Each structure stands twice: as C-alpha cells, then as structure tokens.
Structure 1
Amino acid sequence: MSLGDGGGYGGGEPGGPDAGGQTRTRLPDGGSDPYGSGRRPRAGLSSRNLITVVGVVVLLIAAIAFANRGGGGQGAADDTPKDTDARPTAPTGTKPVTGKNDGIATGFAKTEQGAQSAAANYAVALGSDGMFKADSRHAIVDQVYTPQAAARLKGSQDKAYSAEFLRKLGLDAAGNAPKGMTFISRTIPVGTKVEQFGDDKAKVAVWYTGLIGMAGPGSTDPVRTDWQTWTFDLSWSGGDWKITNDSQKSGPAPVAGDIPAAGAGEISKAVKDYGGFTYAR
C-alpha cells in the first residue's frame, strides 16, 4: 500500500485505491527521505517551535535571576529590625557600650537598643556570685542603680543576704564557699523586650536562664538551672541608664532536655574556663 496525495492510507480517501481505480505512487525527491518533500515543512516547523521554547525558557531564567539579585539587596535591608515588638530578639549589630567599670558595661546609648543592652548587662551583674559578698554587692548596686535607689536598697539587701540565708546555700557568713567547693551563680539573658520607652525613662524585660548551686564533693545543693523574667525600670541618670526599680517572675520555662547532668568537677571547671559576655541588643 502506498501513500496518497493527502498522506492517508486507502479506504476511500482522495487519491486512494478507490479514486478511479488508480493508484498513484509519489517518488521521493531526495532519495533519503521516504516521506518526500511534503513532510519537510512539518519537520522544519517543529524545529522552529523547539528553538522558540528554548529561547523563552532562557529569558525566564534570566528574568528570575535578575529579580532575585534585585530582591537580595532589598532583603538585606529588611534584615535590620524596624519593629522591636515583631522581632524582639534580633540583633542590631550596633556596638553596645564604650567602656566598663568594675567589669560591668557602661556608656549605653540613649536609645531603645541602649536601654535593652543596659538591662541585659545589669541582669548579669545582679545575678552573679558577687552579690553574695557584702563589699562586691554594694559595688554592683552602686554601679547599676541610681544613687537614690542604691541607698534605699543596700540595707534591705544586707538583711536578705543574711548569714542564715548564706548557710542554706553552703556559704559562710562572709559568702565564701568551703574549701574544695565552687559556688556558682550566673545569669544568661535569652532575650529582651522594651515595654515602655520615653525621653529619660524605659521599662525593659529580660528573659533569662540561670545557674545556681554548689559544685563539689558531698554538695547538698547541686548546681541547677532556673528560668525567670526580670523587669527593670530604667532612668537616664549621669549620662547612662540606671535602675530605679526592678521585679522578677518565674518563667517562661521550656521543657527540660534529656542531656545527662555533668559531674561536680566538670561543672566547676566549665564555670572557671568559660567567661561571660557583654550583652547587646
């Protein structure tokens, strides 16, 4: 059976065996294409379509790459937090302070970031083991509170850190740990939040975890973790943020992990080997 003019096979189609009882045979023009020159335009059209599709795909890829490159710059700009309520723990990248006094950061900026940095660093100082000895406690209080607040607090704090209270922690009346033991008290801020901010006043909450306890052989008060939120009322005083009042509440606390507790020696060594940070917003 041969191909007719319309490219169909017999069966009553024009040019088939039933058209006048004649069968016409089309000879190939080029000798190599069994379908003759009549099929070449269709093959040529498919090639052009393929080229067009490839061209469109290339243009789309180029457009997407250009859009992503342009968006990358915009996205980088958007990484700078503009709303502290929406992104309370995102770092600003701004240097927090210009100096330190007795190991406590000083010279905070008169901005929301400066107030948050001050609150975080003051939480670290007030949660340190230095608060359990009278001399260092008074120095810390004088450094982080306003003069009026410091004068008001020292007497009540001295009563709170009584010999009986210190004894329950395993310390002597002067706040010293027994020989061979290490008393640990450390505050680690997790995040800060501005609750109020004005020209000369700010209220900042610090969410933190802490370590407290006695590490050593026979300790009856092993080092444990705690989760608290410490809120500070700050006032701009003497060219820096100072605390006028503060309060604490428990939590929020995450579910405890399944990491085995370290031994007393390992904890003592870690506290000595790993220093603290200057905290910044």
Structure 2
Amino acid sequence: MSSGDERGYGGQGRSADPYSTIGGTRQTRTRLPDGEGDGYGGGRRPARASRSLVMVVGVVVLLIAAIAFANLGTSAKDDGNGGQGRAGGKPDSSSTAATGTRPVTGKNGSIPSGFAHDEQGAQSAASNFAVALGSAGMFSPDTRRSIVEATHDPALVEGLLADLAKAYSPGLLENVGLNADGTTPSGLTFVSRTVPVGTKVVERGGDTATVEVWCTGLVGLAGQESTKPVTSRWFTLTQKLKWVGGDWKIESSSQTEGPTPVNGDNRASTADEIAGAVQGYGGFTYAR
C-alpha cells in the first residue's frame, strides 16, 4: 500500500508487478482517515511510482488504522501460548510446533470464521485472511466485496471497497493478463494464490494483536498462449487485528518482500501442468 496520509487504496500509481497481498494491487499499507500513527511500527518507505496500492495477499492489503497496542513482550520470549522464540537467539522448539487446537469449523461465506480469542486464534485468522486476500476472487467486484466484508472491521469496509474499485482498474487487470472487465482470456487459467508458510505474534494486548505471516504466492496465466506465465513470490504480511463482534478482523496490513529462499533445481512445469494443478488442488483452513 502506498505510504503517506492517503488511504492505502487511493490514486497512487500501480506496479507492473501483479502480485501482492490483496490480489495483486501491490498495496502494502493502509491508514484510518484520522491519520494517526504509522500503523505498522516500522519506518516508512518513500512512495515509488512502480509500487503503490497494497493486503496479501497480499495483501495484504489493506486498511487504514492506528491503534495503540500494549506490548506484552511476546516477540521476545515464549509466553506458552503463541510459541515465540527468544529474540536474537534460536527459536524454541515450540515456535514451529502445532498447538493441537482444531481448526475452526465456522464459515463466513467461503472464509473460515469463529477464531479463538487468543494468540493461536489470531495466527489462524491472519493466515486464512492472507489466503483470501491473495486469491483470484479479489479481481471480481462481487467476490471482492464478500472477501473484504468477511475479513475486515465492518466500520472500514465501504471505504476500502471504494478504494479497491479504483485500484482494480482496467489497466491493472490488463497488466496481469486479464481482460479489461476482469474476465480471463479464453483458453487460459488465471492463477492468484497465497500460501502461508509460518506465523508469529509480534504484539498482543487485550482485543488487539499484530501477526506476521510469512508467505509464498503464485500469480499469472496458465495456458499454451499465455504471455504472463505463473511465477512465485515470497513476502511477509503484517496484519493488525482487532476483536470485533466475537471474531478477529483486520484493522490494517502491510507487506514486505522475503525472506526468499534460493531457487531449487526443480524443472519448471508446463502451462498445462500448472493449469491442471490449480484446477485440481483446493486450499486449506489454516490453524496454528
């Protein structure tokens, strides 16, 4: 998302890189209309014409917020609930272990809901939100609304949707290989997926939580005539969550590149193999 005091989905220039937290708009920061605070704790990056709006996916994507989070030191030590390793040292063995808590069974449309009001629940929510906001559904106005309503604080939804309507312009859609109306060219399969690799709670205070989600993602067009082949990206999505109406919702989100591993020796699959995999393999409900 763009930096500065404008909404994260305002009129900044869009990137040639189609992948980001929210379905490829390359927005990585959002701010509430009152413009308080940075919203993400880190230093701001200057706005660049090549990277603007957003999210996960990434976007991530995402909304405008400034919340004073109570720092309980969860990023520095393991509190027995979030499984955090000690800062500056090797992580505890529990930092990558499952909590044993079963995934949620509720659904808000197609998106999991009913997360626990604790660190495990916040991590599960952030992971599932990253998947939804980095999906191909964000490129269609109808499904975009349902995704945003399911993942964000209701008080911020309409403003975000208005910004996203501008962000997903015909020019951006054509840039990722879609038709100007957002449909996929005949004979091709549009791919936009986010896959969480790990999560970490960096702040927690009562009804708020800040969660980092390390992700890899796919974006592009699969098919014999594609000029936008499916490529992968690695990024970290930081989501500020708030407990609203008995569930976790996104207040704001930012995205940074990496950590990115060295590419392996895998042979690149054919366009038909990629298209078949996308059509044949579904997603997951994520739980920490």
TM-score by length of 1: 0.70
Secondary structure (helix, strand or coil) at the match of 1:88 reads helix
Paired residue for 1:4? none
Displacement, 1:81? Answer: 7.1
Structure 1 runs (4+) deviating above 3 angstroms are: 80-83
Answer yes or no: is 1:233 the counterpart of 2:244: no
Paired residue for 2:145? 138
Secondary structure (helix, strand or coil) at the match of 2:95 reads coil
Paired residue for 1:84? 84
Answer yes or no: is 1:224 the counterpart of 2:231: yes
Displacement, 1:214? Answer: 0.3
Displacement, 1:98? Answer: 3.0
Secondary structure (helix, strand or coil) at the match of 2:194 reads strand
1:96-126 per-residue CA deviation (whole Å, 9 max, x = no partner) reads 3131122100000000000000000000000
Paired residue for 2:173? 166
Displacement, 1:172? Answer: 1.5
Q: Is the 8 A contact 2:115 2:121 kept in 1?
A: yes
Q: Which has the higher contact order (CA 8 A, sep 6+)?
A: 2
Q: Which runs of 5+ in 1 are unaligned?
A: 1-79
Out of 106, 109, 117, the residue aligned to residue 102 of structure 1 is: 109
Higher helix share: 1
**Matching of residues 257-268 of structure 1 within 5 Å:** 257-268=264-275
1:24-71 per-residue CA deviation (whole Å, 9 max, x = no partner) reads xxxxxxxxxxxxxxxxxxxxxxxxxxxxxxxxxxxxxxxxxxxxxxxx
TM-score by length of 2: 0.68
1:166-194 per-residue CA deviation (whole Å, 9 max, x = no partner) reads 01111113311111100000000000000
Structure index of larger Rg: 1
Relative to structure 1, is the Cα distance of residues 221 and 105 closer, same or farther in structure 2, using a 3 angstrom cutoff? Answer: same
**Matching of residues 190-205 of structure 1 within 5 Å:** 190-205=197-212
Secondary structure (helix, strand or coil) at the match of 1:230 reads strand
What do you get for the CA RMSD once the two structures are aligned?
A: 1.3
Secondary structure (helix, strand or coil) at the match of 1:265 reads helix
**Matching of residues 145-156 of structure 1 within 5 Å:** 145-156=152-163
**Matching of residues 265-280 of structure 1 within 5 Å:** 265-280=272-287
Tell me the amino acid that sits aligned with residue 169 of structure 2.
S
1:244-263 per-residue CA deviation (whole Å, 9 max, x = no partner) reads 00010100000011111000
Tell me the amino acid that sits aligned with residue 225 of structure 1.
S
Counterparts of 1:204 and 1:256 in 2: how far apart (Å)?
27
Q: Which runs of 5+ in 2 are unaligned?
A: 1-79, 86-91
Tell me the amino acid that sits aligned with residue 135 of structure 2.
S
Secondary structure (helix, strand or coil) at the match of 2:96 reads coil
Out of 256, 260, 265, the residue aligned to residue 253 of structure 1 is: 260
